[in-house]
Amino acid sequence: MGITDLAAFGINDIPANGDEKREGFQSKSIPSEIAATLESLQPDQIEERKKEEEHEALFTYQPLDPLKSEIRILTLRYSPNFSDPLVADLVVGSLDGAQVHPNIWTYTALSYTWGPPVFDGSITLNGRLFPITKNLEIALRYMRKSNSDYSHASFRRLGDTAWWIDQICINQQDIEERSSQVSLMRRIYKRATSVSVWLGESSPDSSRAIDLLTAIGRPPINAPGEKKIVYPEFSAEDVCKNWRALKNLLERPWWERVWIRQEVALSNSVKLWVGERCCEMELLAPTLGVINYLQNMGIEVPVQDGVDDADDDKTVEGEIGGLKLPWDYHGQQLQSLRGMTSGGFAWVELENLLPAGTSRSNAHIIYKGDNRL
């Protein structure tokens, strides 16, 4: 029996000093073996025992079989309340078709940034606590509620959703497993029903950016018999705010990650999420096309609103030697990759999905340095 179970016997206080009298324990009506255990423990031993019990309560991984291309899939329990604790089950299945768990066919892959390597968030896996980064915890709270409408599989409870998330589905402390799972990344994202991109929580202008992508990406249809389209008019200030909002969206940290190249290139359904708002990634193409058109015409996209912004002078390391890159650079690069894979329907070699000069042999090094570990 653990120390934390003693309250069941009416014991709430344990002497802090080993020299104090312990008769108070004998005066309680408790089993003699419990009293004997307490008599034998010193205060530092009690604290150590508590720590051991807390460690035993944490989730521990069971090894995967790389010969069967096994992966883990997370089944996230539904809850309508944002603040409710995250609860999930972790199951194992094979990408090769042997011993296939139903979740293997209907999971969503999450693409996101880890954020600072501080695991101050948590989720309960198979009844045990598991520490995660705060950014992932926030993302899952939004995904748990927003994606439940798409989960009606007969083998899951209504509202539950299945996910592949590297931070949870890969044992990050096992170097061999991590290397093996990296080699399966293309298959994992290709097998996924869809990919959800978590760009982060909402900001004052993030909804404006989503509205702009939707307005340009899905213009009204002017078909015979339809009402005449009345296009909205915008002031010069509103135009600047619209483009500025899009600029801020495309400069979020997620766009600069290396691994998003294959995470979004291989799926035919990719959703961009900002807080509770989302849109299809395909809506990005028409907007980027407008930017290209304006630039080719020598027209500068009006993103300045008269407010000084140090980010306007930001440089992006690597791709072109640390030179200043256009704010839409990463979005344009990803859209080109989407075109290479025909919107996620075509299969491409790994070399085409990684930055120039990257080989298969050091792909795991990029994974480690890509703000993952």
Lowest mean pLDDT among 40-44, 67-71, 219-223, 289-293: 40-44
Supply the pLDDT for residue 317: 36
Three-state DSSP class for residue 162: strand
CB proximity list for 36: less than 8 A, separation 6 or greater? none
Cα–Cα distance for residue pair 331/335, rounded to 1 Å: 6
39: which DSSP letter? Answer: H
Structure-token match 């997370």, residue found? 74
pLDDT at 367: 43
> pLDDT tens-digit profile of 148-203?
554 444 445 678 899 999 999 999 999 999 999 988 988 898 889 999 999 999 99
Asked whether 183 and 262 are in contact (CB, 8 A), the reply is: no
Query: 153-180: string of b/e by CB count within 10 Å (b at 16+)?
Result: eeebeebbbbbbbbbbbbbbeeeebbeb
Residue 68 is given by DSSP the state G
Q: Kindly state the tokens that stand for 186.
A: 């293309």
Least reliable range by pLDDT among 137-151, 203-217, 243-257, 331-345: 331-345
pLDDT band at 44 (very low <50, low <70, confident <90, very high): low
How confident is residue 46, by pLDDT bands cut at 50, 70 and 90? low
| Residue pair 143/79 in contact by the 8 Å Cβ criterion | no
- Rounded Cα distance between 253 and 297, Å, is 30
pLDDT reported for residue 172? 93
State which H helix or E strand residue 73 sits in: strand 70-76
Annotated domain spans of the chain:
3-56, 66-197, 199-369
245: closest CA among 187, 170, 301, 303?
Answer: 303
3-state SS class at 81: coil
Lowest pLDDT segment from 25-39, 48-62, 67-81, 203-217: 25-39
The amino acid present at 249, given as its one-letter code, is: L
In angstroms, the CA 108 to CA 190 distance is 10
Q: Could you give the C-alpha distances from 149 to 215, 312, 331, 338, 340, in angstroms and in order?
A: 24, 39, 28, 27, 31
Token pair 């950016």 in the structure block, residue? 209
* Residue 74 near residue 106, CB atoms below 8 Å: no
Name the average pLDDT for the chain.
Answer: 75
217-264 pLDDT tens trace: 887 777 677 777 777 777 888 888 998 999 999 999 998 887 777 788
pTM over 0.85: no
pLDDT in tens, 304-317: 654 444 444 443 33
